[in-house]
Every structure is written in structure tokens, then in C-alpha cells.
Amino acid sequence: MTHIPIVDLLQSEALHQEFTVKGWVRSFRSNQFIAINDGSCLKNLQCVVDFENTDETILKRINVGAAIVINGTLEESQGGRQRVEIKVKDIQIEGDADPEEVKLTILSPKRHSLEKLREQAHLRVRTNTFGAIMRLRSKLSFAVHEYFNKNGYFYAHTPIITGSDAEGAGEMFRVSALDPENPPKNEDGSIDYSKDFFGKETNLTVSGQLEGETYALGLGKIYTFGPTFRAENSNTSRHLAEFWMIEPEMAFCDLDGNMDVAEDFIKYVINYALENCQEDLEFLETRLIQEDKSKPQAERAPMALRDKLKFIVDNNFKRVSYTEAIDILRNSKPNKKKKFKYPINEWGADLQSEHERYLVEKHFNCPVILFDYPANIKAFYMRLNEDGKTVRAMDVLFPGIGEMVGGSQREERLDVLKEKMAALDISEEELSWYLDTRKFGTCTHSGFGLGFERLVLFVTGMTNIRDVIPYPRFPGSAEF
């Protein structure tokens, strides 16, 4: 039986016509009013049952959480809460839900904490909050692809399993088919990975950047959008072990062009959400306003959610050199009064989240792009500046988030790249394929990475990154 999504029915003008709807029961009042939701939108559809002429055994099975099929006519609603409703002609129970078991889950009508919702991640998408978040996540994903497609980029699928560490951090998940109880050993007792599936040590990717660069140097402009993994033992509200990364790479593009693309891209995607997700954004905004009422004034959000998003879209990002930022931080009140956990005493310090947020939220009061970082705190592939101590790196910093984007102009000079790799003890043999791109038609090229969950976090106004991905992976947790 074909059915119509509730989002379409709620906007329909086809009164007195017959429709079939399918969804899950959110509430059943007075043995007469069923509220059902099919996930297509935030709002429920009210269906009015003629209980006197409906089989009592059916009525007893209309419980919260049950999946039902309703056939009826679309009528103007008699109540004031909705424009239209369905006058039920026929109802079928497709999947029962035991009310006693429902009481033990987050499907019960009472309000649940976000912590409780995380414990039942397989059910939380049926709540209003997570339905709104995941619809927004889907729309934002589409906007990412739409932006790059409209601007002439090609979508490249880089490997999930890799033998290279793009970040040089070493915090990677090993991939192995060896018997963990009895792995083959070398003479010195170490594991002999030459006997493994790929004949060498391999890991889950931390970034598709290096492979992305090779494709940009053949297709001109590419982007990747896929899962990445970090075995970083960081149990915070801002880190995940598995997350999605957006990584464009552009040939014949310098750092200024890279910053232009990053700003334009972020504004496009956020504006797409504002134009296409009004209902869900309004719901999340109202939720945040209610939450803020219980907080001290100093901890409340300075702007409503949609106003914050519009502010990003309508204003230029402030571009500031690392050196200028260090001067600002060194002379700031929190630094002088020793309120920073990591005091800023000298040039060369690796900026922490508290420093990034101070620059964005207190000093400039807008998104900030920092550029030209010290070479010794950045990755080997970033282009060395003429001063010999800074690199053409850039980070985009956002209020409430800190770093949203990290990128750079890549080091295109083979000799300089080799020197940097040698200094960091990075094997030329392992990355010979990467070095080839500097031998055969090297050129200025740039790119950046944006953690998709941080973008979703910002757009939804949520405060914990575990609430913007369907099944969060973090230290000690790989459930579901």
C-alpha cells in the first residue's frame, strides 16, 4: 500500500481526499486522538478515531511506540493546534509496542536527560530533539556535496585502510588479520607484519589528505568526505574516535585562496540549513532558550541559535597572523591574571582551545582565521615561509567550538619537503608515491580539513559531540 509522508500531508490542500499514512504512535488520548510521526518532519499528525465503531482489540494495541497504518480522509482540524488531521476509516497495527517495556525506555513521554538518551542511542532518533539533529545532519551532508559540485570539484574516495599517517601523530587504530593469540614473530620477538594481510603494518585512516593531494594534482580540484579515525584517549565533549571529515584539495591555489574557499564553504552550508531546516532549527533554538533559563546569566548564549547562524553568514571572518594572536593573548587579562590553564609566555606556544575561544568570543567577537603558524608545531607537509620559522598554515576558529577548520598551503618544493621529512624521521620510501607528485609537474596547491561533527555541533547548538553522530565512538565505548 503506497503512503504519503507526513511532512507532505501537513502542507497539503487536498481536503476530503483519502490518504494512507504510516508511522509510530507518539500519543493516544481519550481513546480517540492518535498522534503519529514518521520521521519526515518534527510535527506529528493527528488522526481521529471513531472509537465506538472500532474493534476494541485494535484500540488496546494503539500504544506509544507502536507502528501503525492508517487510511482516512484529510480534513480541516477542529482543534487549534494543527491545520489538518486525518479522519480514520481503517487502522492496522504493523508492529506492537508493549507499554510496560516502553516505560523502561526513552520512548516513554517523560523528559529524559541527554545522558539517558545516549544510553539508548538506538532509540533516541525517535525523540524530537534527535529527530531534528539527524535531519539537520542529513541536510548539511547534502549541502556539502552541493557546494563542491556547483564549484567544479570532483568527489574522490580515499582509502579507509592506509599505511601512511598523514598527521604524524601515531594515534592510529591498527588493522590486522593476524591471530592475536599466536602472531608470527621476527627473530627479535617483534610481530612480523610481512605475514599480515597487506604484507605490512596498516591502520585506519586519520585523514585522506595525502591521497587527496595526488588527485588534486591530476583533476585540479577534489574533495573527500568520509570517515576518519583517531586512537586518541580523549574522553571529552569535543572528541570522537570515529568521525567524518571534509577535505578539499586545490591545485594552483595558495593560502589566501584556501582561506577564501574555507570561509565561502562554511557560509554556504550554514545558509543552506537556515533556508531549508527552519522547523528543526526553531525547535532546537527554543530548547536552548529553555535550557539557558536555568543557567547563570554569564553562561547563557549571547545570541539565539538562528541569529548566531545568520551572524556567521552575514559577516566576514577576521584574518589574524599567529604572531599577532600571541601578542593579543600574552597581553590579555586572563593571561595576566593567570586564569588560562596554559599560560601564554612566549612566541611558539601551541594554542589550546581556551586561547582560541578567547580570541573568537572575547577579543574579536566573530569567527577568526589564524595563519602563519610556527613550523615546529605543524605537520611536515605545510609550506615553509621565507622566514624559515613559520609555515603557510591556517585554522578557522568558531565561537563555542574553537578550531573548526585546519588547513595549509602544501609544501610543493621537493628538496624542502625531503628536508622536513628527514628532520621528523619520516621514511621517504614509505611516502615515495607522495614525493612523486613533487617530481612530475609540482605546483602551488592547498587544502583544508573540517570535522563534520563540529559543524553539526555548531549548527544545532548542541554542546556534546556525541549527540550529533548516530552512534558515537569514544574511549571505552563501541556499543550498538
What DSSP string runs through 67-117? EEEEEEEEEE-SSSS-SEEEEEEEEEEEE---HHHHTTSTTSSS---HHHH
| 11 and 154 housed in the same domain | no
pLDDT of res. 31: 93
Domain final residue, candidates 57, 89, 104: 104
Task: For strands 174-175 and 161-162, give the pairing.
Answer: unpaired
Quote the strand ranges of 96-238, DSSP E.
154-155, 161-162, 174-175, 202-204, 221-229
The answer, yes or no, to whether residue 300 has pLDDT greater than 90, is no
The answer, yes or no, to whether residue 301 has pLDDT greater than 90, is no
| 138 and 280 housed in the same domain | yes
The answer, yes or no, to whether residue 1 has pLDDT greater than 70, is no
| 312 and 383 housed in the same domain | yes
pLDDT of res. 272: 98
Q: Measure the CA–CA gap between 323 and 403, rounded to whole angstroms.
A: 17
What residue has cell string 568558531? 398
Q: Which residues share a beta bridge with 143?
A: none
- The mean pLDDT value for 241-259 works out to 97
Tens digits of residue pLDDT in 344-371: 999 999 999 999 999 999 999 999 999 9
| 86 and 136 housed in the same domain | no
**Alpha helices for 315-465 (secondary structure H):** 322-330, 333-336, 353-357, 414-423, 432-436, 452-460
| 141 and 214 housed in the same domain | yes
Instruction: Specify the DSSP element, H or E, that contains 402.
Output: strand 402-409
Confidence category of residue 473, pLDDT binned at 50, 70, 90: very high
**CATH number for the domain that contains residue 157:** 3.30.930.10
| 140 and 99 housed in the same domain | no
15 in Cβ contact with 74 (< 8 Å):
yes
**CATH number for the domain that contains residue 34:** 2.40.50.140
| 11 and 74 housed in the same domain | yes
| 43 and 155 housed in the same domain | no
| 383 and 285 housed in the same domain | yes
Residue 353 lies in a domain: no
| 305 and 427 housed in the same domain | yes
Alpha-carbon distance values, 383 to 147, 171, 254, 378, 411 (Å) = 27, 24, 10, 10, 4
Residue 158 lies in a domain: yes
Residue 249 lies in a domain: yes
DSSP 383: P
344 in Cβ contact with 395 (< 8 Å):
no
At residue 318, φ and ψ (nearest 5 deg) are -80, 125
The answer, yes or no, to whether residue 169 has pLDDT greater than 60, is no
| 148 and 268 housed in the same domain | yes
Residue 473 lies in a domain: no
Which range marks the domain in which residue 27 is found? 6-104
pLDDT of res. 111: 87
The answer, yes or no, to whether residue 243 has pLDDT greater than 60, is yes
The answer, yes or no, to whether residue 195 has pLDDT greater than 90, is yes
Task: For strands 67-76 and 18-29, give the pairing.
Answer: antiparallel
pLDDT of res. 363: 95
Residue 383 lies in a domain: yes
pLDDT of res. 235: 79
The answer, yes or no, to whether residue 53 has pLDDT greater than 60, is yes
Instruction: Specify the DSSP element, H or E, that contains 396.
Output: strand 390-398
First-to-last alpha carbon distance for the chain, in angstroms, is: 32
The residue that leads in pLDDT, 166 or 117, is: 117
| 91 and 164 housed in the same domain | no
The count of domains in the chain is 2
Residue 155 lies in a domain: yes
pLDDT of res. 407: 97
Question: In one letter, which amino acid is 171?
Answer: E
The answer, yes or no, to whether residue 168 has pLDDT greater than 70, is no
pLDDT of res. 435: 96
Residue 1 lies in a domain: no
pLDDT of res. 232: 86
pLDDT of res. 233: 85
Quote the strand ranges of 218-293, DSSP E.
221-229, 242-251
Residue 189 lies in a domain: no
